[in-house]
Structure 1
Amino acid sequence: MKKLMLMLLSVLVLLAVGTAQVQNGQFTGTVTDPSGAAIANAKVSVTNMATNFSVTTTTNQTGLFIAKELPPGTYKITAEAPGFKTLTNGNVPLNAGSIQRVDMKMALGEAKEVVEVSGEAAAVNTEDSKLATTVSSTQLNNLPLNGRNVYDLMQLAPGAVNVTGVDFENGHNTVVNGLREDFNGFLINGVSNKGLSGGVDLVPIQDTVAEFQQLQLNMSAQYGNSAGAINNLVTKSGTNNFHGSVWEYVRNDVFDANEYFLNRQPDPRKDPNGTLCTAGDTSKCFKPALRFNQFGGTFGGPTGKDKLFFFASLQGDRFRTVGTPTTILVESPEFRQAVETAFPNSVAALLYKNFPPTLPGTNPVTLDGYVPGTKSSGSNAVPVVPAGTPNYEGYLCPDNTGSFAPTFATLLGVTAMDQQIMNYDGRPTDPLHGHVPCSLTPPITAGAMGRLLPFQLSSVAIYGSQTGTLGNGNLFNGNEGSFRLDFTPRGSDRIFAQYNYYRQTDQFGPCDTACTRGFTNPQHIQYPGGQASWVHTFSPTVLNEARVGYQQNVNFINTGIPGVPEAGGVQGKFDDGTAGFGSYSGYPQFFKEHIYTYSDMVSISHGNHNFKIG
Structure 2
Amino acid sequence: MTVAGFFCVSARIELVNEFEGRLGSFIPVRPPIAEAGADGRILSGAIQWGYASEVPPTIGKIKVVIRAQEAYMSFNNRGILKVGIPVITLLLLLAAAPVLMAQSQTLSGTVVDSSGAVIPGAQVRIVDAAKGTAAREVTTDEGGRFQAINLQPGAYTLTVELSGFKKSQTSITLDVNTKLDVGQIMLEVGQVSEVVNVTGEAPAVQTATMEKAYLVDTKQIAELPMNGRNWVALMSTVPGMTSSTQNDFNTNFNDVSGFHALGGRGSQNNFYLDGSPNLDVGDNQSQYTQPSIDSIAEFKVQQSSFLPEYGRNSGMVVAVQTRSGSNSFHGTAYEYVRNDVLDAIPRLATSKPPLRYNQFGGNIGGWLPFPGVSTKDNKKLFFFYNREMTRRLNPGVGYSDVPSAAILQNGDFSSWLTSNNMDYAPFKVGTVFQPGTVRWDGAGHIINGMPYPNNVVPTSQWQPLSANLLKIYTQLIPGYTSLPAAPNPGYSRYYWHNPDTLHKDQDILRVDYALSSKLNTYFRWVNDDQNEQFGNGVWAWEPFPVQPQYRPKPGSSWSWNIVNTFSPTLASETILSYNHQSQSLSVVGSNPLDRDTLGANWTQLYASANLTNSIPNINGAGPISFGLGSPGWHNDGKDYAFTQNLTKVWKSHVMKFGYYYNRDNKKQTANWGFNGEINFNNYNASSMPLDTGNGL
Q: Same fold (TM over 0.5)?
A: yes
Match of 2:641 in 1: 597
**Segment of structure 1 superposing worse, 69-78 or 249-258:** 249-258
Change (3 A) 1:297 1:484: same
Query: What's the CA shift string for 1:486-509, capped at 9, x where partnerless?
Result: 011222210101110112211225
Q: Distance in 1 between matches of 2:208 and 2:459?
A: 89
Query: What's the CA shift string for 1:156-182, capped at 9, x where partnerless?
Result: 11100112499x996341111011111
Q: 2:404 aligns with which of 327, 332, 335?
A: 332
Task: Check the 8 A contact 2:327/2:379 in 1, yes or no.
Answer: yes
Match of 1:104 in 2: 185
**Alpha-carbon distance, 1:433 to partner:** 7.9
Match of 1:40 in 2: 120
Query: What's the CA shift string for 1:56-80, capped at 9, x where partnerless?
Result: 0011111110111212221111111
Match of 2:268 in 1: 183
Query: What's the CA shift string for 1:525-555, capped at 9, x where partnerless?
Result: 1111121100111111100000111211211
Q: Determine whether 1:493 maps to 2:580.
A: no
Alignment of 1:58-77 (within 5 A): 58-77=139-158
Q: Distance in 2 between matches of 1:35 and 1:251?
A: 61
Q: Determine whether 1:319 maps to 2:395.
A: no
Query: What's the CA shift string for 1:250-281, capped at 9, x where partnerless?
Result: 11122234567874xxxxxxxxxxxxxxxxxx
Q: Determine whether 1:81 maps to 2:162.
A: yes
Q: Distance in 2 between matches of 1:15 and 1:478?
A: 50
Task: Check the 8 A contact 1:556/1:589 in 2, yes or no.
Answer: yes
Match of 2:671 in 1: none
Match of 1:301 in 2: 366
**Alpha-carbon distance, 1:597 to partner:** 2.0
Task: Check the 8 A contact 2:504/2:529 in 1, yes or no.
Answer: yes
Q: What is the SS of the residue equivalent to 1:34?
A: coil
Match of 2:655 in 1: 611
Change (3 A) 1:554 1:324: farther
Q: What is the SS of the residue equivalent to 1:534?
A: strand
Q: Distance in 2 between matches of 1:122 and 1:433?
A: 77
Q: Distance in 1 between matches of 2:346 and 2:525?
A: 41
Q: What is the SS of the residue equivalent to 2:228?
A: helix
Alignment-mate amino acid for residue 651 of structure 2: G
Alignment-mate amino acid for residue 507 of structure 2: G
Percent identity, aligned pairs only? 25
Alignment-mate amino acid for residue 156 of structure 1: T
Task: Check the 8 A contact 1:44/1:78 in 2, yes or no.
Answer: yes
Q: What is the SS of the residue equivalent to 1:182?
A: helix
Change (3 A) 1:121 1:81: farther
Match of 2:586 in 1: 558
Alignment of 1:151-190 (within 5 A): 151-164=232-245, 171-190=256-275
Query: What's the CA shift string for 1:473-496, capped at 9, x where partnerless?
Result: xxx431111111101122221010
Q: 1:52 aligns with which of 103, 127, 132?
A: 132
Q: Determine whether 1:465 maps to 2:500.
A: yes
Q: Distance in 1 between matches of 2:217 and 2:203?
A: 18
Count residues with an aligned counterpart: 511
Match of 1:292 in 2: 357
Q: Distance in 2 between matches of 1:209 and 1:33?
A: 40
Query: What's the CA shift string for 1:9-45, capped at 9, x where partnerless?
Result: 43255677312222x3221000111111111121100
Q: What is the SS of the residue equivalent to 2:142?
A: coil
Match of 1:217 in 2: 304
Q: What is the SS of the residue equivalent to 2:553?
A: strand
Q: Determine whether 1:521 maps to 2:530.
A: no
Alignment-mate amino acid for residue 548 of structure 1: L
Q: Distance in 2 between matches of 1:538 and 1:240?
A: 26
Change (3 A) 1:41 1:76: same
**Alpha-carbon distance, 1:514 to partner:** 2.5
Whichever of the two has the greater Rg, that structure is: 1
Match of 1:456 in 2: 491
Task: Check the 8 A contact 1:513/1:579 in 2, yes or no.
Answer: no
Task: Check the 8 A contact 2:300/2:318 in 1, yes or no.
Answer: yes
Q: 1:207 aligns with which of 294, 317, 320?
A: 294
**Alpha-carbon distance, 1:331 to partner:** 3.1
- Which structure has the highest helix share of the two? 1
Q: What is the SS of the residue equivalent to 1:147?
A: coil
Task: Give 5+ residue unaligned stretches, structure 2.
Answer: 1-62, 72-86, 369-373, 463-480, 596-613, 659-696
Change (3 A) 1:375 1:438: closer
Alignment of 1:97-136 (within 5 A): 97-102=177-182, 103-119=184-200, 122-136=203-217
Task: Check the 8 A contact 2:413/2:456 in 1, yes or no.
Answer: no
Query: What's the CA shift string for 1:428-462, capped at 9, x where partnerless?
Result: xxxx98746699xx999799999xx9641356775
Change (3 A) 1:580 1:14: farther
**Alpha-carbon distance, 1:134 to partner:** 0.8
Alignment-mate amino acid for residue 306 of structure 1: K
Q: Normalising by the residue count of structure 2, what TM-score does the alignment of the two structures yield?
A: 0.66
Alignment-mate amino acid for residue 40 of structure 1: P
Task: Check the 8 A contact 1:253/1:289 in 2, yes or no.
Answer: yes
Q: Normalising by the residue count of structure 1, what TM-score does the alignment of the two structures yield?
A: 0.74
Q: Distance in 1 between matches of 2:172 and 2:302?
A: 22
Q: Distance in 2 between matches of 1:10 and 1:444?
A: 85
Q: Distance in 1 between matches of 2:559 and 2:496?
A: 44
Q: 2:335 aligns with which of 231, 248, 253?
A: 248
**Segment of structure 1 superposing worse, 5-14 or 488-497:** 5-14
Alignment-mate amino acid for residue 536 of structure 1: N
**Alpha-carbon distance, 1:124 to partner:** 3.0
Task: Check the 8 A contact 1:150/1:206 in 2, yes or no.
Answer: yes
**Alpha-carbon distance, 1:312 to partner:** 0.5
Match of 2:538 in 1: 510
Alignment-mate amino acid for residue 113 of structure 2: D
Alignment-mate amino acid for residue 480 of structure 1: Q
Change (3 A) 1:377 1:613: closer
Alignment-mate amino acid for residue 509 of structure 2: F
Q: What is the SS of the residue equivalent to 2:220?
A: helix
**Alpha-carbon distance, 1:146 to partner:** 1.6
Change (3 A) 1:81 1:214: same
Change (3 A) 1:322 1:228: farther
Q: Distance in 2 between matches of 1:426 and 1:208?
A: 71
Q: Distance in 2 between matches of 1:610 and 1:505?
A: 47
Match of 1:583 in 2: 628
Q: What is the SS of the residue equivalent to 2:294?
A: helix
Q: Distance in 2 between matches of 1:483 and 1:207?
A: 12
Task: Check the 8 A contact 1:170/1:181 in 2, yes or no.
Answer: no
What is the RMSD of the two structures over their aligned residues, measured on CA atoms? Answer: 3.9
Alignment of 1:372-451 (within 5 A): 378=424, 381=425, 387-388=427-428, 391-394=431-434, 397=435, 399=436, 435=448
Q: What is the SS of the residue equivalent to 1:254?
A: helix
Task: Check the 8 A contact 1:187/1:231 in 2, yes or no.
Answer: yes
Q: 1:367 aligns with which of 413, 423, 429?
A: 413
Match of 1:472 in 2: none
